[in-house]
Amino acid sequence: MRIQLFSELALLLILSSPDMYSTLLSIAALAIGALAAPGSSHLEARAPRRTTPFMSLIKTSVNCMIMPRDAHTNIGDSEHPGGMKTYCSSSGRYDNSQGKLPDNFWSNIAFASGTSSRGARYAQLTGCIRPETLSRLNPDDGGGQYDSSGGDGGQGNPQGSVCLGYNHYVELVEPAEKRACIKCCDNYDDCPLDKDTSGCPAVIPGNYFNCG
């Protein structure tokens, strides 16, 4: 039950400041204490540049994702300092600095969590998106990847981003395929970073509802 609570309440990601990080860790600790009592070869390779970290959560009804900060921007072109921003569902936003995902952004979404074949925890979100509903995206963009552990020195993209309660995360947004996915992992190998041009199903196997 402890793992499930972390998955449902404090899932994923990305820090906006040390003070916010401390606050989130305190909330997560309180929650745990209470419980104890397809063809995407056109994807752009991840750029080596970084930006300021953000914070996000994940579950089917409360979810946030890293997206381009500026309107009509390809994922690959957003991967520079200041080029990315957190966008959240209505119930997922906790700070006015975060953008809002349209209520119909996800057309189908699946949440899964558990223990991998390596014996490590993971949680993931997979599904279909309506990229035309979010002005940050170009619907014909092949997409790209954000993560916590890749790039120069393994500092992540955005740099310094982490998965709250886990060691790693990987996120792909594929507007042209109408598809997106995020996975949060304890084990580095459960969040592979070397398939960033292969598409969501190759990086994060799961339910994609025949997106497209």
- Nearest by Cα to 185 from 161, 206, 164: 164
Confidence (pLDDT) at 91: 84
Confidence (pLDDT) at 58: 60
pLDDT digits (tens, 9 = 90+) for 176-205: 999 999 999 999 999 999 998 999 999 999
**What is the C-alpha separation between 182 and 169, in angstroms, rounded?**
7
pTM: 0.76
**What is the C-alpha separation between 27 and 10, in angstroms, rounded?**
8
Question: In the predicted model, is pLDDT for residue 167 greater than 80?
Answer: yes
**What is the C-alpha separation between 133 and 81, in angstroms, rounded?**
25
Domain boundaries in the chain?
A: 2-203
Q: Are 98 and 69 in contact (CB under 8 A)?
A: no
**What is the C-alpha separation between 172 and 143, in angstroms, rounded?**
7
